[in-house]
Amino acid sequence: MPQRSVPTIEDVARVAGVSRSTASRALLGGASDLARRRVEAAARQLGYSPNPVARALASGSGLRIVVAVHGQHAGQLDDPYTTRVVAAIAGAVAAQGVGVSSRWLPFDGTAAQVLHELGQDRTVCGVVLVNTTEALLAALPRSLRGRVVSIGIGAPGVPCFDVDNAGAAHVILRHLYATGRRRIVMITGPGWLPCAQRPVTAYRDFMAAAGMPVRLVGGDFSARSGREAVAQILARWPDTDAVYAISDAPALGALAALHEHGVGVPHDIAVAGFDDVPLAEFSAPALTTASHPVERIAAAAATAVLAKRSAPVTMFASELIRRRSA
Amino acid sequence: MPQRSVPTIEDVARVAGVSRSTASRALLGGASDLARRRVEAAARQLGYSPNPVARALASGSGLRIVVAVHGQHAGQLDDPYTTRVVAAIAGAVAAQGVGVSSRWLPFDGTAAQVLHELGQDRTVCGVVLVNTTEALLAALPRSLRGRVVSIGIGAPGVPCFDVDNAGAAHVILRHLYATGRRRIVMITGPGWLPCAQRPVTAYRDFMAAAGMPVRLVGGDFSARSGREAVAQILARWPDTDAVYAISDAPALGALAALHEHGVGVPHDIAVAGFDDVPLAEFSAPALTTASHPVERIAAAAATAVLAKRSAPVTMFASELIRRRSA
DNA sequence: GTGAAAGCGCTAACAA
DNA sequence: TTGTTAGCGCTTTCAC
């Protein structure tokens, strides 16, 4: 007597000729081979798929991944990078019936408290940290153990996923060097952000190895900071022949500023960024940059949280995108 | 005997001196005034907050909002606009323990089937339609009734939320007119998208009323389409003195193209967009555009889905952002 | 209006 | 390894 509603695990068990619990175990991958085969067959036959809500309630696991973004202000959640991460995860987890939501982890002492709340929250199945610092990793509540990953730096028990930004820096610097640039200024990211230091270190090493001067200007990933950096650069080092920005937004800001100052790009000063944002191709001149597979990184991080297992470190390659600006 | 774990509705009921069912009703807003007051007091005292997972299982309601994006290809899910919508919802629903995921609604016949799946899916509590067409609205399964809203056009039973893009078009066109432009070309959005027709209609009306020629070039919201449009424009209407693009991306593409063609902006041709994307401020020259509160719109749509009630139409104002390009 | 009881669909102790 | 038995925390009939 086929019933018209969605089949439950009870139905599967009945068809497979086992108890409900055995069916459950089999579907979770933990019964005898024979049982598992029969249960799987029954499930396939009935077109069964488990109800994640019931599963979550019974196992106490939750149904949403929270993207927890550390930063100065809540506006961080709307910034283009965070936005891409969240949206990519939203697409990646759709098939498992899971959702994503986002949360700001402030700089004042409350970040740890927010993390604690997330650990207690029965609706949360995992957390993806963005813009992680060592302090934050140290403040992770044990209630989150085993279900948190990081995009950026990691820690024991906290798998991390990120683009190989040291590698990206190298690729870009080599290109600038190969095209004759020798006085290369770098516009950095915020000093508190560990993974933003990796390209800086790469830059330092590269410049030292090549016997070229280290010239750093502070920035914060914003186009505005790139524009402001240019004023400093032109004032402090008039002989600059290249600007390498930690990401495309400041690079585009720099481009705008150089244009306003009447400096020719790439003739007088070459400009390179990092990220290959959609509009990088449409600046004047088109921006030379390096790719940053944000969507793939975010999806991998989300998948790892759900699977509750992953390699401790996963790096994604970046490649040079050569255009007109350098 | 205060117990250390999170309080359940059972605890609240006990403290309030009522049965569990009365407590449940009271929290849902449906008991006697007296009971409700006592239950609310007890809940406050215990710091109780309901477990959305249990609630979802019992009521069969689901715990994620699905952003369903209609479009030509799955890449639509990664486009900057969709991305902003998804991320904004992720932030807006975090407090209610809900998550977001996204789904592509293809153009081939399968969109209706996907919607049907979403209607059956026990994890889904509501759907936010993006890039809706009339055909899509007509294909909504009844299983989704009462829990779907649209960003764009709506229908009876499907509340809609959008920026007043006809108003935005007017504001921009008036500005172009006021600054002396008379031969204004519009770069449009995709023809199949109803809400992209509103600014076109506004443009037609405006031009007709002012006795100016209607000149339309097709686009698709991409910067590339803006660039390609410029080639056509220069060839077909060499006397053009302004380009109004349906959004900032094509406007920036147009800017890049005009620069390559050696056309002076705004001297020879003024350029205006719509959206005020973060980088609009950093083009050369900085882009004149109109604001588009995507985050507020998305949050309102999500809130309405969760509340299961809303005004049939909610429009958000747009304002002129005057910069250098027009 | 209220309480008792029956689920929602699944996982996880506990015995066997 | 398997089946039996309790729950997970809440909503929702159903009588009263």
The three-state secondary structure class of B273 is coil
Note the pLDDT of residue B4. 55
Find which nucleotide's C1' atom is closest to A7's CA: C9
pLDDT exceeding 70 applies to what percent of chain B? Answer: 99
- Per-state percent for chain A, helix, strand, coil, to nearest 5: 50, 15, 35
Note the pLDDT of residue A2. 41
Asked if A40 contacts A29 with a C-beta cutoff of 8 angstroms, the reply is no
Give the residue nearest to nucleotide C9 (CA to C1'): A54
Chain A residues within an 8 Å CB radius of B64: 63-64, 97-99
Note the pLDDT of residue A156. 95
Asked if A251 contacts A245 with a C-beta cutoff of 8 angstroms, the reply is yes
Closest CA relative to residue B102, chosen from B135, B78, B138, B132: B78
B184: pLDDT strictly greater than 70: yes
Note the pLDDT of residue B3. 44
Note the pLDDT of residue A30. 80
* All structural domains of chain A with their residue ranges: 9-163, 165-290
Look up residue A173 and give its two tokens: 């610097």
Which chain A residues 48-67 have CB under 7 A to strand C?
48, 50-51, 54-55, 57-59
Note the pLDDT of residue A6. 87
Chain B residues within an 8 Å CB radius of A98: 64, 99, 101, 123
User: What part of A 254-293 touches B (C-beta under 8 Å)?
Assistant: 255-256, 259-260, 278-279, 281-284, 286
User: What part of B 161-220 touches A (C-beta under 8 Å)?
Assistant: none
Chain A residues within an 8 Å CB radius of B63: 53, 63-64, 99, 123
Q: What is the mean pLDDT of residues B161-176?
A: 97
B35 touches strand C (CB under 7 A): yes
The three-state secondary structure class of A132 is coil
Chain A residues within an 8 Å CB radius of B100: 90, 99-101
Model pLDDT for residues A100-147, shown as the tens digit of each residue: 999 999 998 899 999 999 999 999 999 999 999 999 999 999 999 999
Token pair 């250390």: residue: B4
Q: Which of A100, A261, A275, A324 is most worth mutating to test chain B (most B CB atoms within 10 A of its CB)?
A: A100
User: What part of A 79-138 touches B (C-beta under 8 Å)?
Assistant: 80, 82-84, 86-88, 90-91, 93-94, 97-103, 120-123
Note the pLDDT of residue A304. 96
Burial B146-179, CB ≥16 within 10 A → b, else e? ebbbbbbbbbeebbbbbbbbbbbbbbbbebbbee
Closest CA relative to residue B137, chosen from B145, B198, B101, B304: B145
CATH of domain B9-163: 3.40.50.10860
B58 touches strand C (CB under 7 A): yes
Look up residue A250 and give its two tokens: 């400041």
Half-sphere exposure of A218 (CA within 13 A, CB side): 4
Sheet holding A215-217, edge to edge: A215-217, A184-187, A242-245, A270-272
Asked if A104 contacts A113 with a C-beta cutoff of 8 angstroms, the reply is no
Note the pLDDT of residue A113. 94
Identity of residue B239: D
Note the pLDDT of residue A4. 55
Asked if A7 contacts A47 with a C-beta cutoff of 8 angstroms, the reply is yes
Q: What is the mean pLDDT of residues B238-249?
A: 98
What is the rounded radius of gyration, in angstroms, for the C-alpha atoms of chain B? 25
Q: Cβ contacts of residue A137 below 8 Å, gap of 6+?
A: A129, A150, A153, A154, A155, A158
Q: Which residue has the higher pLDDT, A200 or A30?
A: A200
Predicted model pTM: 0.95
Q: Is the CATH number 3.40.50.300 carried by domain B165-290?
A: no
For strand C, which nucleotides have at least one atom less than 7 Å from a protein CB? Answer: 1-5, 7-13
CA end-to-end distance (rounded Å), chain B: 71
Within B147-271, residue ranges assigned H as helices are 165-178, 197-210, 223-236, 248-260
Note the pLDDT of residue B6. 87
Q: Which residue has the higher pLDDT, B6 or A149?
A: A149
Chain A residues within an 8 Å CB radius of B53: 53, 56-57, 62-63, 122-123
CB contact under 8 A, B284 and A223: no
Closest CA relative to residue B91, chosen from A116, A86, A298: A86
* Dihedral (CA of A296, A298, A304, A306) sign: negative
Note the pLDDT of residue A31. 85
Chain B residues within an 8 Å CB radius of A84: 78, 83
Q: What is the mean pLDDT of residues B161-168?
A: 97
Instruction: Supply the DSSP string of A250-294, one letter for each residue.
Output: HHHHHHHHHHHTT--TTTT-EEE-SB--GGGGGSSSPPBEEB--H
- What is the distance in angstroms between the Cα of A130 and the nearest Cα belonging to chain B? 14
The three-state secondary structure class of B3 is coil
State chain B's mean pLDDT as an integer.
95
- Do the two domains A9-163 and A165-290 of this chain adopt the same fold? yes
Model pLDDT for residues A206-264, shown as the tens digit of each residue: 999 999 999 999 999 999 999 999 999 999 999 999 999 999 999 999 999 999 999 99
Q: How far is CA B73 from CA A66, A306, B196, in A?
A: 27, 27, 18
Model pLDDT for residues B102-141, shown as the tens digit of each residue: 999 999 889 999 999 999 999 999 999 999 999 999 999 9
Distance CA B274, CA B326 (A): 12
The three-state secondary structure class of B116 is helix
Look up residue B38 and give its two tokens: 């006592």
Residues in chain A: 326
Model pLDDT for residues B63-94, shown as the tens digit of each residue: 999 999 999 999 999 999 999 999 999 999 99
Q: Which residues touch strand D (CB under 7 A)?
A: A 17-22, 25-26, 31-32, 34-35, 54, 57-58, 60, 122; B 5-6, 8-10, 20-21, 24-25, 27-28, 48, 50-51, 54-55, 57-59
Asked if A62 contacts A125 with a C-beta cutoff of 8 angstroms, the reply is yes
CB contact under 8 A, B282 and A82: no
- What is the distance in angstroms between the Cα of A203 and the nearest Cα belonging to chain B? 26
For strand D, which nucleotides have at least one atom less than 7 Å from a protein CB? Answer: 1-13
CB contact under 8 A, B101 and A98: yes
pLDDT category of residue B29 using cuts at 50, 70 and 90: confident
The answer to whether the bond into B285 is cis (omega within 30° of 0) is yes
Asked if B289 contacts B273 with a C-beta cutoff of 8 angstroms, the reply is yes
Note the pLDDT of residue B244. 98
Note the pLDDT of residue A108. 87
State chain A's mean pLDDT as an integer.
95
Q: How many CB atoms lie within 10 A of CB A190?
A: 17
What is the rounded radius of gyration, in angstroms, for the C-alpha atoms of chain A? 25
Length B57 CA → D3 C1' (Å):
25
pLDDT category of residue A271 using cuts at 50, 70 and 90: very high
Containing A148, the helix (H) or strand (E) segment is strand A148-151
Nearest to A77 among B91, B253, B255 (CB): B91
Containing B39, the helix (H) or strand (E) segment is helix B33-46
